[in-house]
Structure 1
Amino acid sequence: MFPKEQQKLLRFASASFALIVALISAAVLALWHLKTAEFVANHYWIFDMQHTAALLFLLCSVGLIVAASGHKRAVAVLGGFVGLVAGAILLEYITGHDFGIDQLLLVDDVHADATHPGRLAPNTALAFLFTGLSLILVRYVFRQSPHFCFAVADLTGFAVFALGAHAIGGYLGSFEQAYAWVTDTRMSIHTAVSNMCMGISLLTLSWASQDRKIALFPLWIPFVICFVALQITLVSPPGIVTSVIYIPLILSSLWFTNPLTVFVFALIATFFVTLRYFLLPLEMMTEEILVNRVLTTFVIWFVAVLIYWKRNFDLKLLRSEQYLQAIVENTMEGLIVVNHKGIICKTNPACNRIFGYEDNELIGQSVNVLMLSPYCEDHDQYIDNYLKTGVRKVIGSGREVAGLRKDGSEFPMEIGVCEMKIEEERFFSGILRDITVRKLAEEELLRSNTELERFAYVAAHDLQEPLRIIIKSMEFLHEDFGETIGEGGLRYVDNSSKAAKRMRALIGDLLEYSRLGKQSHRFKKIPVRECLDVALENLHEVTQSHNAEIVIEGDFPEIDGSSVQVVRLFQNLIGNGLKYCEKDRPPQIRISVEDHGGVAVFCVEDNGIGIDEKYIEQIFIPFKRLHTVQAYPGSGIGLSVCKRIVEMHHGKLWVESEVGRGSRFFFTLDVEHP
């Protein structure tokens, strides 16, 4: 049953039992006002329900019917009034004072010979006190602690029901102390029935206010258990340990969703176990009976606490399962679980959606229905090999494979597989995603990059010849017509020639930059130290002219790469250290390497002018310069080339620098290419 359907049924039950109480109380009220001496003589038992009791029953039943229809504001007012009257009557018994409320609305001439004519029995007043409290709780729910609020509401409802059931048991078993707590005031049989109905109405209204399933079994079961336990308690000899009678009631709380329900049942049981002792004749209140009741109470609460701990543990486990289930059900990635035989045990909605299957349609099928050949055979071989040898190839890693939808269409997917053990049984979980869109984007990006590189190469190559002609023409003009055009004309010719040569250098760098992407397939095993030596040899004249000091530290490894590119990498970084140096300080270059678990971290350190921190990211942008050409000649593409070379070797390039103290360029290269 779903919560909303359950709530509707519970509200109907609450209103129905409240209506029974209203009919009984209205009939008794009418008879109190229409009574005749002859009718009283023939039907004296009807008037055992006091006029005040009938009026309070009528108010409570009306309040419950109103509350069941959803209007709870007025219910709290009625509950407060009923509780106030019942509390005042109980104070009359406790203090011995008469507050004048017993016959306030009607003089009780039927029980004129009683000690307190018109006064409610103490057990009836206690039942109304619980009813008033429960009606107040229906309106004012403790938002911060709903479990506690509903537990108190359930306790008051069960208490009202149990007080009525206890009195009914007294009538059935001829045990007067069960319904008559004082000598001349007793709870009548129709008052007891009304209290039982009122208790059921209060409980079902409380349960209807909760937005979850109340119990996992029919809700009438605890009422029956409680009623039977009360009757057995009344007929059992006082010396018998009767805790076992209430254990089924305590155990029934295991099927209630509120963990505090067990304490509701424990309080009800404790109350009546204790009440049974105090209702005994004075001569039977022996020490043995008292020990009996204490042991009974201890057993009840010992079991209740154990159940509470168990329910709390179950609820935490359930919340954890619901939390994980919500993650699995709502994740955008597909999730699939297979056993060691490759049979699908679990899929989430995203997985079903990716492959085009309905919920649970894949359960029990082989995982191979989701893959194309040769991935099916490879998968079976990987799993068999892992189970036999323990060697992981695909377990714990991700890879791209071709997936097969239900309609037979193929699509690229990325999947990561990991192993888990549950009770010594092996399972394999896979997280997968459809990468069709990503693959299309990669293809489009690759196509665009290829076209861009081709355009850059063609454009740069085609510009070489016009520039060569311009430079040669400027040289001829300078040699043949230098005297004719004069000093001013020669200055223009020289500027044009320098600009053309600088453009030729830029175009050359651009051509080299565009060629880098075409050389990755030429990677082979190369010794990095030899590449460094070649770079230093190429920079020999510059090093000598700057009177630079070069220091090399560390054991340089071999890598998979391009020797030409690695030479250019070192040459550019060392050349920058020589170029961007202080005028009054000889350059000092230190090249070092450290091994970090299969990854070589290289460092080229200089004592040059340094780089301001805010420009750190800009220096790797092609043709981005921080200084003028006059101050430091160059095209501004050197570090961009370095960055691209390192990335093509699956490494990373970064810099640490301080203005005026130099820079340290770090880059990583894999000793073993992945």
Structure 2
Amino acid sequence: MATVQSGGASPRHILIVENITAQALMLQHILEEEGYQVSTADNGVAALEMTRAIRPALIISGVAIPEMSGYELCRQIKAGPGLSPIPVILVTSLSDPNEVLLGLQCGADSFVIKPYERSHMLARVEHALSNRDVAHMTEDGPPAEIFFHGERHQISASRTQILNLLMSTYDAAMQRNNELHESRQQLRERTAEVLEVNRFLDSMIEHIPTPVYIKDAAQLRYVRVNSAEEQLVGIARQDMVGKSVHDLFSQEEADRFTAQDQRVLASGLIEEIPEDRFFSQSKGLRLLHTRKVPVFGEAAEPTHVLGISEDITQKKALEKEIADLHSALKLRADELETTNKSLESFTSAASHDLRSPLSIIGGYAGLLVKNYADRLDEKGLHYLSVIGTRVKSMARLIDDLLSFSRLSLQEVQKTDVDMNALAAQVVADLPVGGPGAPQPVIQLGLLPPAPADPGLLRQVWVNLLSNAVKYSSLTANPQIEVSGRVEGAEAVYTVRDNGAGFDMAHYDKLFEVFERLHTDQEFEGTGVGLASVRRVVTRHGGRVWAEGKVDQGAVFHFALPVQGG
């Protein structure tokens, strides 16, 4: 098939003969950008017909084209009436010296070697067009003789044409030589880069703490081991390189390692051995985590096996120790949970059982005061008063113990709690002191919300604020300050008073059940309130702590998680 891009011949009309469409379009684009008119043909026969019809100013043809070769096309054009002045440029790889002779014999005007550069092709085109008339002037004399490959060849082309062709051939050869020189230079540069990369990889492999080795695929002999592999195996590398595993290790180990290597070579896939037992000559029995990797050559077949091992002996021992500790801790936790439930059940039962005799004692003491007060002396009445007071104290203690035991049994139902509203409600419900007693000034700061059980948390605020009021009641100007803040993933709440305080030397007793840092004569109490605070806060995943100085007040803090809670 042929295409004509212009209506007729012109001094800048060029015919391209090329059966590879991509190459034809590329050359057409180059020429049209320079203002040439272009026609194309994809075989020799069509090109000859178009040449006769349109008489182009120049023909650029490949040599391996269908129907008629580029050499034969050129020969017929040079022999055709009125066509011989048309210059012909042959595009060839010039891989065979005979191509030069064929070009001379067919009368070609120039060679261009592919792949060609744009500038070189355009220079050849301009030269061919500008020397068109000179190259084909008639010359007298016999045909030129060329002695090539032991034979004499007569060339009928003009001497100017021969010279142009030979010069273009020399130019093409020089171009190819320059390309070869550049390729060699690039090869040397790439070789230097590869050597540098290899040196870097060698250094890295040698100094990494992970054992690495390489075996050839043919006989599974070691060709490379690094320092870490030497230390693991306990054999010097000069005694390992060139040897197989059967030369170095026990029969059982060697058979196992060989089977692994053969599987990797057969499948072409990485094999991971999570736990592999190995007896080291320097370290004894070891447990390894090994990866074996096939290394492929140019033929896409594995040529080597790369092994990377990690000594996990100590890691596995630690994992077992941790697992054993977890099991022991879980067992201990289960035992503690059972014990706590038993203690809580006992506390609840004992508290209920104590109520009945306590009620009887209180009742009879009251009857004695009511019916026999006139018969008792002052000492007897004092004894009854003490009994009544102790009965009430014991009743409060039983109530507190029941509340404390319920804290462990009650399920925590978390919701977003408005701490400002909850603390304000507790303050409003606090009991007011008797006549003449100084009333505390309670300052409520802004409190951040937190996910918590409102009922349980209310008890925390009640206990902390009641304590602050109680222990500051003997102060002339009692001041209580409530504040809050967010620190990281916690909301921290603080209750500060200027009351009796406490000695930090006894801090370890502060949150324990029945432990009190003040006597009943100083301040009444059962020693359960702060223990309840700690239990509620810890059940929320939080923490509680305090600071104090004797007669200089106390500060109590508790923190609740606000993220992931």
Scaled to the shorter chain, the TM-score interval is: 0.3 to 0.5
TM-score scaled by structure 1? 0.37
The structure with the larger Rg is: 2
Question: Higher helix share goes to which structure?
Answer: 1
Higher relative contact order, structure no. (Cα contacts within 8 Å, ≥ 6 residues apart): 1
TM-score when normalising by structure 2: 0.44
User: Which structure features the higher share of strand residues?
Assistant: 2
